[in-house]
Each structure stands twice: as C-alpha cells, then as structure tokens.
Amino acid sequence: MDFSFAFTPDLIAVFLTLFVLEIVLGVDNVIFISILASKLPKEQQARARNLGLTLAMLMRVILVFFAGWLITLTEEVFALGDLSFSWKDIILIAGGLFLLYKAVTEIHHKLEGAEDEHGASGSKAISFGAVIGQILVLDLVFSLDSVITAVGMTTNLIVIVTVVVLSFGIMLFAARFIFEFVNKHPTVKMLALSFLLLIGVFLIAEGFGFYIDKAFIYGPMAFAIFVEALNLTYAARRAKREKKPERPVKLRPRYRDVDESVAVAAALSRSKDPSAGAVGLSRKPVAGEGAVGTERAGLG
C-alpha cells in the first residue's frame, strides 16, 4: 500500500469520488443500525445505536489496515497454465466477485425483488445482546463493501483511511439530511450501485493480471455523476415551473420483519421535539410509529 500524500489532480479526483461514493453507499448502514435499535425498549435504543455506530467506524478502519497488509502479499501461491496467482490476486478476485454479487442482488431487491423473511416477527421480544449481534453482522457486510470499494479505487492508505473516517463521521451527524436526499432521489443510490459493478469488474481483471488504468474508472464515474446532476437539476426546475411535487420511484423494502418506517420517519423528521427520534449519535430513542396506511418503501 502507498503511504505517500501529495496534492495531485488525480489524487484529489480519487478522494472526492470515493468520498461521495462512501457517503451514498454508507448511509444505509447508519439507517439500518437505527432500525435494528428501534426493536429494543426505548431506554436501550440510544445505547445500542451509539455502540453500533462506533463499532461500524472502528471495523472499517481495522479492515482497511488488514486489507492493506493482505494486498502486499504478492508471492505466487499457485498457477493455472500461464497464469500465476498470489494472495493479493485471490483477494482482488474475491473482492470483485463480492461487489458484483452485492450490487446485482441489491439492485434486484430494490427494484423488483420480494421481501425476505429474516427470523421471527418484529413484534417478538428481542434482547440487547441479540440486537448488538445483528448490528455487528450488518457492520461487517457494509464495512466489506466500503473497504473493497476504496481499495479498488486507490492503493493510497492515507486517502482510504481519511475518506472512510471522514465520510462516516459526517454520516453520524448528518445522516438525516443525506438520507433525505438519497430517499428523494433513489436514482443516486442506483448509480452508486452501478459504480460497484464497475469497480468489481476492474478488481477481477486486475486479479487475473490485466492491469487497467484507474482513469477508466474515474472518467465514466465523473461523467455519470455529471449527467445525473443535470437530470436532477432539470427535474427540479420542471417541477418548480409546473408547480408539481417530484414523485421519485419507491424502492422495495428488503426485510419483512423490520419496520423500516420507524427509522425512516425519524430520519426525515424535521420536528424539534426531543422525543422525535434520531438516526445518528444521540441519546434520543428512535421513537414513534410509522405512518399508518402508507405503503412500505425501501431505504434510499
């Protein structure tokens, strides 16, 4: 891994692109932690949420250093014909396959997949330890997502750690506003997931010895973000001109036994009432019930 740090145009572009990508992809982690914490009694919700959020950031940093060490293992492990593979190649291929699987299945579930059943009904009593266990598993999955994406874009460890800590720190205190934007514009989430597909392909190619210039990642990403920004600007101006509210596509919920509406309502709430709930670091519980009679929609 590279520990150097110089303000070059390429490094700045990588930093900004990765920062935006980490924020968009990571906001679900913050919201889902609040969802799981909301299943506990109100007096335990804040403790579970804050512990889960802290563990999520620590897990990301630990995995970054672990991945950085593994990628230095370049000695040949085995060969298949003319192709030789090191632990670095194996990790890159496995990480790329993971991103492809995660992105494709997530897009499918968000757009047309059925809700999954996970465990018992949400009404069943659940212990503090069980919720923390679920949060740890959730943190691991989201952290792998985050770290593999970062390693796929740059080998500069300083940039990766800075982006991971800074982006997650911002999400802790601005999750409500970030989630409101992503929830209002679900195409942004789909665009981020499509970026995972692109990065996954590049990681697999590199694992098989086909080095592709990283500019071929940044270029399409930058162009796609520019086009999406134009689309959002045009849609907002048209809605303002026609005086009609924007109606984004409602993504499907993933889990049948998790009442996402509670955390979503807390995330989108503008109430100043201290009992209104919270999704970031806070002593407040995620209080309230989801809107009655409304159709459930997925996160972001």
Q: Exposed, middle or buried by CB within 10 Å (0-12, 13-18, 19+), for 228?
A: middle
Q: How far is residue 244's CA from residue 72's CA, in Å, rounded to a whole number?
A: 55
The identity of residue 233, as a single letter, is T
Beta strands in 44-189 (DSSP E): 76-80, 83-86
pLDDT band at 150 (very low <50, low <70, confident <90, very high): confident
Q: Tell me, what's the pLDDT at 265?
A: 63
- Contact 248/236 with Cβ under 8 angstroms? no
Higher model confidence: residue 277 or residue 285? 285
pTM for the full model? Answer: 0.70
- Contact 19/166 with Cβ under 8 angstroms? yes
> From the CA atom positions of the chain, what is the Rg in Å?
20
pLDDT in tens, 195-216: 888 888 888 998 898 888 777 7
Q: How far is residue 281's CA from residue 266's CA, in Å, rounded to a whole number?
A: 13
pLDDT in tens, 83-105: 888 888 888 888 889 889 888 88
